[in-house]
Amino acid sequence: MNVIANNCPPLVASLDDALHEIFGFGDFREGQREVVEAVVAGQDTLVVMPTGSGKSLCFQLPACVIDGITLVVSPLIALMKDQLDALLEFGIPATFINSSIGLEEQRSRLREIVAGRYKVVYVAPERFRNQGFLDAIARVRVGLFAIDEAHCISQWGHDFRPDYLTLGHARTLLGCPTTVALTATATPNVQQDILRQLSLPDANVVVSGFARPNLFFEVFHARRREDKRHRIRALLNHYSGESAVIYCATRKQVEEVAADLKQGGIEAGVYHGGLGDAERVYVQDAFMDSDQPVLVATNAFGMGVDKSDVRAIIHYNMPGSIEAYYQEAGRAGRDGEPSHCLMLYNYADRGIHDFFIGNSNPTAQTVQRLWEALAKHGVGTHALSTDQLAQHLSRGKNAERVHPMAVEAALRQLRSAGHIDYGYRDGYPWLQVVDQARVRDLRIDFEGLQRRRDAEERHLLDVLSYASGQSCRQQFLLRYFSSKKSAEKTCGNCEICSGRPEYALKASASSGTTSAGADRIHSLDPPELLVRKLLSGVARARGKWGAHNVAGMLRGSAAKKITAAGLDKLSTFGVLSYLRQQDVVDLLDLCQRCRLTTQNVHGCVSLTDEGAEVMMGTRPMPDALQQQLAMRLSFGAQSPTRPTSSSTSTSAPRAPTISAEGASSDTYERTLDMVRQGMDYDEIAKERGLTSASVLRHFMVLANDGHAIDLEGHLDGQILPMLRDAAQDWVFGAPLAPLKERMPASCTYDALKIHLVQILMERQ
C-alpha cells in the first residue's frame, strides 16, 4: 500500500496557530476544538452541529496534519465543488470524483490520487459500488474517512439514502481508518443508528451549536391563504432590501407565492427542481450576490449554500420533520445578527406531507402489483414510463388510483433488489426486467419499508407538536436534539416567550387590524368576564374537542356535532351566543397564544395551569392578552354586524361579499349564516330541505367569494394533495367530471366538492 506524504502546509506550534495560518480564522467555534483534537488523536467521532456552525473544518483541519489522504463522502455535487474551491484557495491540494466529470477525467484523477498529488478527495456515496474506484483507493493510505450528511445512512433520519448503507463495509475495505461522521440534524435515535451502521461503538459524540440566540422563532396560525400573504409581506417589509428565503412544499406554490409578492410590489426569484440547470445557477447567483434578495423556493434550494446575511427564513407550509425545519431555518443569521424564522401553520397543510409519505414509501401491495405487471413483459428491455405503469395499476373496477410518484418509489425498490434496471436513452425511458422472480421471492424488506413510513409519520407529528405547542420554541428545539438546555425558562426570542414580534405589531397598527384580515369583535361582556367564560367552556370540554366545536358550544350552536356530543348539556352552552363563530375561535386563539390554553396534535383544546388560575380569578389576565383585547374589542348593547362594501373603511381589509351569482337570492346568505352558527353541510341540508350537493355548491360559491368555512373534519390527506395537483388549471364554474375521473374510486362527488372548497379558500 502506498503512503502519501503530508503535502499540506505544516502544522505550527498549536491548533490555534494552524487554524489562523492555514484557514485564516481567529478562533474555533463552539464544539470545533473538541472534535479536531479527538480526530487528530485518532478517535472516531460523530459530530452533530447545525447548518452554518462550521462542521467542514472538523475534517478539513485534521486533513492537514494526518498522514495519508482524507476521503470525504458527500451526496451533493454543488457542495463538493464549493468546498473544493475553498480548499484550493487555502493551498490544500484537493479534488473530487463524481458523475459531473467524464470517465477519462475520472481515471486521470484516480491515477493522480495514487501518485500522491491530492490530500483531500471528495466522492459521492455511490462511488463505493464502482470496483475500479475501490481498486485505486486500496493502493493509497486513507488517514481519515469523513462522512458528511451522515444522517442519510439512517432509515430513521429525514433524508435516508440507500447508497449510504455501503459505507460501513467501505470503511472496512479501507482498513478502518479514523472516521468522522458529520450531520446537522440527528436525534439521539438517529445518532445511535449512524454509529451502528458504521460499526463505531466506541465513537466520541459531540452535539453542540444548536442554541441560536440571534434567531427569533415564530409560528403563526394562518387560517387562510390571505393570512399567509399578509404575514409574509409584513415580514419582508420589515427587512426591506435584505435577504430572505420563503420555502414552499410544492413547485406550484413557489410560482404562486412569487406572483403574489410581485403583485404587492416585491420582486422575488424562483427556485425549484423544475427549472433547467442554467436557470437554477442564475437564480442562485443572483441571490448570493444580493441582486435578488428575496427568493421563493422548494427544499431543492439551500444545501451547501453559504450566505451569512439572510435575515428571514419563512416556511409557507410546515415542513415534514423538525430536522428539515431546523436545517432550513438555520440558514438565517449565520453572521450572528438578529434574524427571523417564521413558520406559517395551517393544519390542512398536513395533507401535502401525508401525500408525500404515502407515495414515497409504497405499500407491499403496490410493489407486488407492479412486479406482476412488469414480469408479464418478460425478461428484457421495454419502453415503459412511470405514467404508463401508474395508469395500468389504476385500471380496474375497484382499483385505487396509483400516483406516478408511488410507481417511481416502487421501481427504486425493485432496482435496489436487482430485479430491474431503468433509465433514459436519447430522451426516452427504458426499463429492463432482469429476472422473473415470484412475488414471494422478491428481495425487498417490506417490513423495513413500513418502519420507514412509520418513522416519517412520527417526524410529522413532531412538527405538529412544535407548531401547536405553547412552550418556548428554542427550548423545544434544544430538547429535540438533546443539546444543552438553557437555564432560562424563557428565551426571549420566540413569540411564546416575548409575544407578537415588532413587525407584526407595526403591520397591525398600519392596517387597523390585529391579525391578518381580522375584524373588531363587538363584546357585551367586559374583557375579564369574557375571558373567564371562554376558559370555563374550555375546561368543561375536558380537552376532547377542537376550537371550532368549543366555540360552537359557547355560542349555543344547534349543530348536530354539538348536540350529538352532549356539548349542549354543559353549563357553558350558549354563554357567548351574541358572538360570531369566527370571533370565538379568534378569541380562543388569543388565549392559546398567551398560554392560557394549549392544543394537542389532534387540535383538541385544554386549559393550562395558568389558564385555570385566570378562570378561577386567582391570577390576573396576562398583560399581552389585555393589550390584544384592547385592540380587538368594542363594547355596547348593539348587535354585531358584518361590514359591507359601503361601510368598510378603506384602511381596513374589505369583508368578503356574495358574488353576483348569489345576489339574486338570499339563499347563499342563509347558508353562510348557518355556517357561522357552526352547522355542518349535512345539517344545513336537512334544516333547509336541500340536497347535500346543493349545500356544497353553496360552499363553493362562498369560498370563491373569500368566506372561510371549517371543513377540517372532512378533509382526506390522500385526496387533497391529489386534487390540488389535478385542479391546477381548473377554474371555478368549470365542469367537475374531468377532475372526478382523476380521483380514486372512493372519492364521491360530495367529497370532490368538499376538497374543492378547501382549494378555493387556499386561492384567496
Rounded distance between C-alpha atoms, residue 219 and residue 232, angstroms: 12
Q: Domains of the chain by range and CATH?
A: 15-207 (3.40.50.300), 215-345+470-480 (3.40.50.300), 354-450 (1.10.10.10), 520-635 (1.10.10.10), 660-763 (1.10.10)
Residue reference for cell 415564530: 218
Is residue 22 pLDDT above 90, yes or no? no
Rounded distance between C-alpha atoms, residue 440 and residue 352, angstroms: 33
128-169: pLDDT as tens digits: 988 888 888 988 999 999 999 999 998 666 677 878 988 999
Rounded distance between C-alpha atoms, residue 386 and residue 388, angstroms: 5
Rounded distance between C-alpha atoms, residue 61 and residue 465, angstroms: 39
C-alpha cell of 311? 435575515
568-593: pLDDT as tens digits: 888 888 889 888 887 888 888 888 87
Better pLDDT: 238 or 6: 238
Residue reference for cell 412520527: 458
Vertex 176, ends 170 and 179: CA angle to 5°?
90
Alpha helices, H only, 130-204: 131-137, 167-173, 188-197
Rounded distance between C-alpha atoms, residue 668 and residue 681, angstroms: 13
Q: What confidence tier does 639 reach under pLDDT thresholds 50, 70, 90?
A: very low
Rounded distance between C-alpha atoms, residue 274 and residue 294, angstroms: 19
Is residue 637 pLDDT above 60, yes or no? no
What is the β-pairing status of strands 178-183 and 45-48? parallel
Is residue 209 pLDDT above 50, yes or no? yes
So what's the pLDDT on residue 485? 55
Do residues 641 and 676 make contact, with C-beta atoms less than 8 angstroms apart?
no
Mean pLDDT of the chain: 84
659-698: pLDDT as tens digits: 444 433 467 788 888 887 777 888 888 888 888 888 898 8
345-404: pLDDT as tens digits: 987 788 888 888 989 998 999 999 999 999 999 999 999 999 999 999 988 767 778 899
578 DSSP β-pair partners:
none
Residue reference for cell 434544544: 478
- Report the 3 state secondary structure along 347-391: HHHHHHHHHHHHHHCCCHHHHHHHHHHHHCCCCEEECCCHHHHHH
Of the listed ranges 152-156, 226-230, 649-653, the least confidently predicted one is 649-653
Is residue 8 pLDDT above 60, yes or no? no
* Sign of the torsion formed by the C-alpha atoms of 257, 260, 265 and 269: positive
For the residues 637-649, what does the mean pLDDT come to?
37
